[in-house]
Structure 1
Amino acid sequence: MTAVDGVWCDRCGEPVGASAHEACRTARTLEPPRYCPSCRRRMKVQVLPTGWRATCVEHGAITD
């Protein structure tokens, strides 16, 4: 999932339409999401040797 797949940016938590989020897209190629793109809640993130898992209490897990 990228910063533009939801209503909220999954890196900075701001509305997707508020700005271009080019820095967020660039950063997301190397790091996991921090905010749920559906509800803007801060997610629990676990970095694994094979990727990452981010979990929203409302929407569940997103994995890489």
Structure 2
Amino acid sequence: MTDLSPAPAAPAALWCDRCGESVAAGAPPACEAARAGEPPRWCASCRRRMKVQVVPAGWSAVCVEHGERRG
């Protein structure tokens, strides 16, 4: 038998993934502009600093709690 239950939803973003500040009032404007060219530095779910690696083909960011993101 296979498990056909949906994958767990990603936690809602509580923190800016660029500066680590709260996004309760919306993301900081400077971060919105910079996000297009930069990888995230902070986990948006738990506010932990992520390990980021940038290579010519893209980037990867790893949170010890929530795993890896790629771009």
TMscore range, shorter length: 0.7 to 0.9
Bigger proportion of residues as helix: 1
Aligned pair 1:13/2:20, yes or no? Answer: yes
One-letter amino acid matched to 2:31: C
Mark the runs of 5 or more structure 2 residues left unpaired by the alignment.
1-11
Please report the TM-score for the alignment, with normalisation by the length of structure 1: 0.85
- What is the distance in 2 between the residues matched to 1:37 and 1:9? 6
Over the matched positions of the two proteins, sequence identity in percent amounts to: 63
Mark the runs of 5 or more structure 1 residues left unpaired by the alignment.
none
Structure 1 runs, 4 residues or longer, greater than 6 Å off: none
Q: Which residue of 2 aligns with 1:60?
A: 67
2:51 to 44, 48, 53: 44
Larger Rg: 2
- What is the distance in 2 between the residues matched to 1:58 and 1:20? 22
Please report the TM-score for the alignment, with normalisation by the length of structure 2: 0.78
Query: What RMSD over aligned residues (CA atoms) do the two structures have, in Å?
Result: 1.4
